């Protein structure tokens, strides 16, 4: 599955680059800027998602520790 996805992505990149061969410089720069923006956006989104996941995991651990502490100090 990963190999097929990689092959498809590579083919799409080659076709996209070959389509840019006969464009004027302004259009090429515009497309380069758009691609760069997409990569920056993807990196920012991935980083934000990772940080949010760590935050939620930390909350879950704290909750579970509180539950365990509450059960350990139950009335005997």
Kindly calculate the radius of gyration of the chain based on its CA atoms and give it in whole angstroms: 24
pLDDT: which is higher, 58 or 21: 58
**74 has pLDDT over 80:** no
pLDDT: which is higher, 13 or 67: 67
**Residues sharing a CB contact under 8 Å with residue 14, sequence separation 6 or more, in sequence order:** none
- Domain definitions of the chain by residue range: 2-69
Which structure tokens are listed for 10? 């590579």
pLDDT band per the 50, 70, 90 thresholds, residue 8: confident
Question: What pLDDT digit, counting tens, does each position of 24-63 carry?
Answer: 889 888 888 998 998 999 999 999 999 999 999 999 999 9
d(CA 62, CA 68): 10
- As a whole number, mean pLDDT of residues 2-10 equals 75
């Amino acid at each position: 599955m990963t190999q097929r996805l990689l092959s498809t992505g590579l083919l799409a990149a080659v076709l996209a680059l070959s389509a840019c061969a006969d464009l004027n410089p302004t259009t090429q720069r515009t497309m380069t800027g758009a691609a760069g923006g997409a990569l920056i956006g993807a990196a920012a989104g991935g980083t934000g998602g990772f940080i949010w996941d760590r935050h939620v995991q930390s909350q879950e651990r704290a909750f579970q520790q509180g539950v365990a502490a509450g059960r350990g100090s139950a009335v005997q």
